[in-house]
Amino acid sequence: MSGEPARSGPGGGPVPRWIAERDLPGRRLFVAVPLSSDVRDDVVHLVERVRATVGMQPGPGPGGPVREVRWVRMDGLHLTLRFLGPTLDERVPALSDAIRAAADGVAPFRVRLAGGGAFPGPGRPRVLWLGVTEGVERLGGLAHSLEERLVAAGWPRDERPFRAHLTLARSDGVAAGPATASALIAASADFDAEWTADRLILFESHTGGGPARYEALTEVGLTG
């Protein structure tokens, strides 16, 4: 899932959550279902096709380069179940316990990716994504179970509805955003990849020096 706006900037536009929270104390944590290695490779090839297509578009001036959207790191592709944001070290054990409780008794299940799109729309995209067409209810059930256990452990409830999707890039209003969204939608029209979701991972997001890098802190298997 993508970070939602947290507050307004000087011009009245939304400020992404990662910017609003980057100076708060604690580790930036989230819980996610990772992709299998073969599906990740399929997504990487799709993104390469999209980037090659957009790279052939004219720039803002004569011969000017096209400023790309901000692609996520392809080695850390995942489906986010819950973004926690800055979390103090002393709360991590309780968070890990909540993840284990949410996964308890849940069997592995199939997840399918197909088709692409953009939030809020391809004309002025903020987030570019691939859709989830199988496993949506199971993912939603896990997200709900995790949410209830987090609330019981003292976390504030996240009132935003869960939307199963794979975030690929954030456009941040760059001129190439609409062209990239259109290229992604066209390239992913026949994209179809599936894998068995068999674990949840608590990730820490490390930012700075390019796309965020994700470090696995806790891994919990889905054994049923």
Strands (E) across 120-212 are located at: 127-134, 165-170, 192-197, 199-206
Distance separating alpha carbons of residues 142 and 59, to the nearest angstrom: 43
Checking DSSP bridges between strand 27-34 and strand 192-197, what pairing results, if any?
unpaired
Helix (H) or strand (E) holding 84: strand 78-87
| Contact predicate 31/201, CB 8 Å | yes
Give the HSE-up count for residue 68: Cα atoms under 13 Å, Cβ half-sphere.
16
144 is catalytic: no
45 is catalytic: no
**Preceding amide of 120 cis, omega within 30:** yes
| Contact predicate 214/76, CB 8 Å | yes
Distance separating alpha carbons of residues 41 and 46, to the nearest angstrom: 9
**Which positions are catalytic?**
78, 165
